[in-house]
Structure 1
Amino acid sequence: MKILFNPFEDRTDRDVRNFLGSAFICALHKGDQAPVAQAVSDLGRKKLPERAQSYITARYARYTAVLSQMSSNPLLGADLYATAALLWDESLFFECHEWLEQNYRTLQGQEKKVLQAMIRTAGTFELLTYNRKKAAVSVATKALSVLEPHFLQVPESFNIQPKIARLKTVIKDA
């Protein structure tokens, strides 16, 4: 039986995801692929299971695609929500969550609640990626309770409507 990569059930997998994700967030800020390349190199020197190696290879390809798009359109990096949407479009839900979360503490009031709901939305789909449906439904319910009445507060660059529809489906299919 082949064991799949799962950062929710395996400490090594979680460490790989977190290390690689942190390097990617750093690369986004710098507009430079070097932190990701260094992280991949560092991880490559470790004796990691095949599932982790496959994850690293797949993530590296997605990270490279995002960084390439951002370098060809510098305005993307200047817009927190456009960058988050780009991460979402590459199914980088963990990284989208991390990208948005770093701005959470700087906000106040309703804007902070909406951002938290967006973070939870990304978290929902990270949970679903690893078949953690019960937790995903719980997080989706919390996100939807804020996003539905306040969707107009989400910047257009994040395109929240399809994400709200998916949250509703997650809850309905539970």
Structure 2
Amino acid sequence: MIEILFNPFEDRTDRDVRNLLGSAFICALHKGDQAPVAQAVSDLGRKKLPAPAQSYIKARCDRYAAVLAQMSSNSLLGADIYATAGLLWDESLFFECHEWLEQNYRAVQGQEKKVLQAMIRTAGTFELLTYNRDKAAVSVAAKALAVLEPHFSQVPESFNIQPKIARLKNVVKTGC
């Protein structure tokens, strides 16, 4: 028997689930309230989703609740986009981290914009690795490294970029 896994890169329904939940969660981060996620889950509950999608939703909701709980106990987190991104990263919410940083990309300029784009690519690399998309991950990691290595000091400490750079280097070196 072949086990079917959740994969937003190969299944449209899975991609729609990931995107809807991710968008709802970004909204929840801004509001500091789980309500947008609850609404998305309710909307998804009306559909006959396969078991892997249902498991994904449950796991994501658990991680979202953990992030929102940490943010509510530390009101400074939401004000620091990089600390919030780090918190998302720590919960392995790479897609959501990518989305969170991307929102802020449009508001910055110059070198900061290039560094933020590299951070977005870093999150994208880890999202790709999550779904065994190694070739694409290597390509995106190389682009991120080209900016992050010479400019790592411009990444705020709250994002803790050094371990991520080390992992990116390993991805490029080993091909996964």
TM-score range, shorter chain: over 0.9
The corresponding residue for 1:33 is: 34
The corresponding residue for 1:115 is: 116
Alignment partners' CA distance in 2, 1:64 and 1:31: 11
2:148 is equivalent to residue 154 of structure 1: no
In structure 2, what residue type is equivalent to 1:69?
Q
Q: Which consecutive aligned stretches of 4+ in structure 1 deviate over 6 angstroms post-superposition?
A: none
In structure 2, what residue type is equivalent to 1:45?
R
TM-score normalised by length of structure 1 = 0.99
Q: CA deviation at 1:2?
A: 1.2
Alignment of 1:60-79 (within 5 A): 60-79=61-80
In structure 2, what residue type is equivalent to 1:84?
A
Alignment partners' CA distance in 2, 1:51 and 1:81: 31
The corresponding residue for 1:100 is: 101
Q: CA deviation at 1:128?
A: 0.2
Alignment partners' CA distance in 1, 2:95 and 2:151: 23
Alignment partners' CA distance in 1, 2:5 and 2:174: 24
Q: CA deviation at 1:69?
A: 0.4
2:8 is equivalent to residue 4 of structure 1: no
> What is the number of equivalent residue pairs in this alignment?
174
Alignment of 1:43-62 (within 5 A): 43-62=44-63
Alignment partners' CA distance in 2, 1:3 and 1:172: 30
Secondary structure, in 3 states, of the residue corresponding to 1:102? helix
Computed over aligned residues only, the root mean square deviation of the Cα atoms, in angstroms, reads 0.4
Alignment partners' CA distance in 2, 1:73 and 1:126: 27
The corresponding residue for 2:170 is: 169
Alignment partners' CA distance in 2, 1:12 and 1:67: 26
Alignment partners' CA distance in 2, 1:143 and 1:87: 19
Which structure 1 residue ranges, 5 or more long, are not aligned? none
The corresponding residue for 1:87 is: 88
Alignment of 1:12-31 (within 5 A): 12-31=13-32
Identity among equivalent positions (%) equals 87
The corresponding residue for 1:138 is: 139
Alignment partners' CA distance in 2, 1:83 and 1:106: 17
The corresponding residue for 1:128 is: 129
Alignment partners' CA distance in 2, 1:123 and 1:131: 12
Which string of whole-angstrom CA distances, capped at 9 and with x for unpartnered residues, describes residues 79-130 of structure 1?
A: 0000000000000000000000001111111000000000000000000000
